[in-house]
Chains A and B, each alone.
Chain A
Amino acid sequence: MVNAYITSTGSFLPGPPINNDEIEEVLGLVDGRRSRLKSRILKANGIQTRHFAIDREHRTTHSNADIAVLAARACMAGSPLPMRSVGMLSCATTQGDLIVPGFGSMVQAGLGIPEVELHTAHGICSSSAMAVRAAVNTLRVGDQSSALVVVSELASRLFKHTRYEAAGGHDAIDFNSEFLRWMLSDGAGAWLLERQPRGRCLRVDWIRSYSHADSLPVCMSIGRATDPADSRSWQDYPTYADAEAAGALLIRQDVRLLENIVKLGVDGALRLIDEGLLDTDRLDHLLCHYSSHHFRSKIFAMLEMCGARVADEKWYTNLYTKGNTGCASIMIMLDDFLREDRAKPGETLLCMVPESGRFNVAYLHFTVVEA
């Protein structure tokens, strides 16, 4: 079978790093009052700095497509392949600048790649893995010889204080609708995939994902009212202003259900071990945008007992300095990881992408090769 190789990576993070004391200055005080939950949520996620594509006056400094284009250019700057020669453009984001058309169209326009085969994946964090999967498959069947995967996230626009004020303000905001305000931030990453290896690069060994929307409720969403008894979608209100007032345009995380993502992440890994695809002892690096301390639970002790635990020193994350950029996280993380020159030829990497939206976990396994 034809292989696929990641031959270049790049990323872009808009604006300066914003530390924990500055976040609320950028996003704004809801009804002029400080958040009561901020420090607790930040302490739990451990993030120290992140980037926003909006400034303190809430002007958008870069559109989502802008961030994506800049990450794609950074990626292609590391490759001799001309941008015009890219055969496939495979994009993902949680929400593009426009509701339609697809995000990929806007990125293609920004990059100026003619006659490219276009793909846009839709979802949250795991849409990155879907975009990579589409690119890898296209190379493997031999339809293209190169594919540029560009994944971008611009969450900060959802977190302006005015959004919360429009939905009832300080007293109407519950933990679940505030949680992600202190968690998500902006950025984009891009990987160039080719059928032929080039220099030191990553061979794509396999990609697998397991979705559990059949058995679990929605955990992270935009589009439903604050009141759980109101089952309407944001599109069912007479006006979008009515939807916003009902809280249906707030991004919300059902924190109570989050523990499931840890279990499902472990479940998928055990399945991969049983299928003989994953060997946790032989694995050299694990990249995950959930920090390992989220996985410190009883399950971890059991993984140790059943010989499936990945040793702490193999975990890599840039979560604490680059923030949680949703679907872009794994893309930016691999770029940082490779730039730090941590991986030697022959070593293996597992990228794990857990999505809590309605529970999908993707795994991407690579081997470092030298062409």
Chain B
Amino acid sequence: MAEPVVIARPEILSPIGQSTLRQLLRTWFDFERRLSRVPIIQRLETGTFTLLDYQHLLLNLRQQVIEGSRWISRCASSFDREHADIRSVIIGHAHDEHRDYEVLEQDYVAAGGDLITIRQRPRNPGSEALHGYLMYRASEPNPVGLLGAMWIVEGLGEKMAQDWAARIEPLAGIGREATRFLRYHGSNDDSHMNKLYGLIDRICTTETVADDILRTATVVGRLYALQLEEIDVA
């Protein structure tokens, strides 16, 4: 089997790469503040989050996690031969994550939930919007803007692992065996960041691409927050 394709981290980014990274950081901070205003996350931060909240969180995340591997796979297939290196990196990524939802389901059961309930749960309106947007973008030729989606989704994986999991366990009265999905993405920071720097350097060469990446990051952040807001509406 061939060695996996690696898009190497550059020593320094180009001026446009640097400017894009600065704005991605700001988009991320803005997204984090938006999350802090979502009721279920407010409860988490102020310490009133319950086991029921955790069950609702997993119930509402599962669909998006399943669909997550679908848009990433679709995204990979939309890159043409000029972007074969990017395609390879994304295929690897899709492979890494395509069974994550099984871990999430096991966590739900470990947290006192019922497997049939979570499997039958339909997408909430926020998940519908997020999934629809990502599949639409992933179906476009060479969807480089989805780097902005990766930025948000991967950042969120890290936030779940580093902030949420340890906060949720005592509040919900559960152990690590019930937060394996949340904790899963916190392990390989450096390689994720190097991959990201490599992709920015490779993809982000014009203002048009930079704007597309930032716009996508903003939309995905908004729709992700909507998905979490819907937990309290449902």
Contacts A263-B29, A306-B13 given; indicate if A217 touches B22 (C-beta within 8 A): no
Q: Does A308 contact B (CB under 8 A)?
A: yes
Q: Does A172 contact B (CB under 8 A)?
A: no
Q: Which of B22, B34, B197 contacts A270 (CB 8 A)?
A: B22
A269 nearest in chain B by CB position: B22
Residues of A within 8 A of B23 (CB): 270, 274
A301 to B33, CA, bound (A): 22
Q: Does A216 contact B (CB under 8 A)?
A: yes
Residues of A within 8 A of B25 (CB): 266-267, 270, 299, 302, 306
Q: Does B36 contact A (CB under 8 A)?
A: yes
Q: Does A264 contact B (CB under 8 A)?
A: yes
Residues of B within 8 A of A298 (CB): 189, 193
Q: Are A267 and B13 in contact (CB under 8 A)?
A: no
Q: Does A307 contact B (CB under 8 A)?
A: yes
Q: Are B26 and A270 in contact (CB under 8 A)?
A: yes
Query: Scoring A residues 80 to 109 as 1 if CB is less than 8 Å from chain B, else 0, what string do you get?
Result: 000000000000000000000000000000
A13 to B76, CA, bound (A): 63
Those of A253-277 within 8 Å (CB) of chain B: 256-257, 263-264, 266-267, 270-271, 273-274
Q: Does A305 contact B (CB under 8 A)?
A: yes
Q: Are B13 and A307 in contact (CB under 8 A)?
A: yes
A307 to B47, CA, bound (A): 37
Q: Does B46 contact A (CB under 8 A)?
A: yes
Residues of A within 8 A of B30 (CB): 267
> How many A residues touch the partner, as a band?
20 to 34
A264 nearest in chain B by CB position: B29
A19 to B225, CA, bound (A): 48
Residues of A within 8 A of B189 (CB): 298
Q: Does B78 contact A (CB under 8 A)?
A: no
A305 to B42, CA, bound (A): 32
Q: Are A271 and B34 in contact (CB under 8 A)?
A: no
Interface of B, secondary structure class, is helix
Min C-beta distance of A214 to chain B, whole Å = 7
Q: Does B174 contact A (CB under 8 A)?
A: no
Q: Are A267 and B36 in contact (CB under 8 A)?
A: no
Chain A to chain B contacts (Cβ below 8 Å), 10 pairs: A214-B33, A215-B33, A215-B37, A217-B46, A228-B47, A266-B29, A267-B26, A305-B197, A306-B19, A306-B22
A307 to B15, CA, bound (A): 8
A85 to B75, CA, bound (A): 70
Q: Does A339 contact B (CB under 8 A)?
A: no
B21, B34, B189, B193 pick with most chain A CB within 10 angstroms: B21
Those of A264-315 within 8 Å (CB) of chain B: 264, 266-267, 270-271, 273-274, 298-299, 301-302, 305-308
Q: Does A43 contact B (CB under 8 A)?
A: no
Q: Does A56 contact B (CB under 8 A)?
A: no
Q: Does A232 contact B (CB under 8 A)?
A: no
Contacts A267-B25, A273-B22, A307-B18 given; indicate if A216 touches B46 (C-beta within 8 A): no
Those of A195-218 within 8 Å (CB) of chain B: 212, 214-217
Those of A219-274 within 8 Å (CB) of chain B: 228, 256-257, 263-264, 266-267, 270-271, 273-274
A257 to B23, CA, bound (A): 23
Min C-beta distance of A97 to chain B, whole Å = 33
Seed contacts A257-B45, A266-B25, A306-B18; 18 additional CB < 8 Å A-B pairs: A215-B33, A215-B36, A215-B37, A217-B36, A217-B42, A217-B45, A217-B46, A228-B46, A228-B47, A256-B167, A266-B29, A267-B26, A267-B30, A274-B26, A298-B193, A305-B18, A306-B22, A307-B15
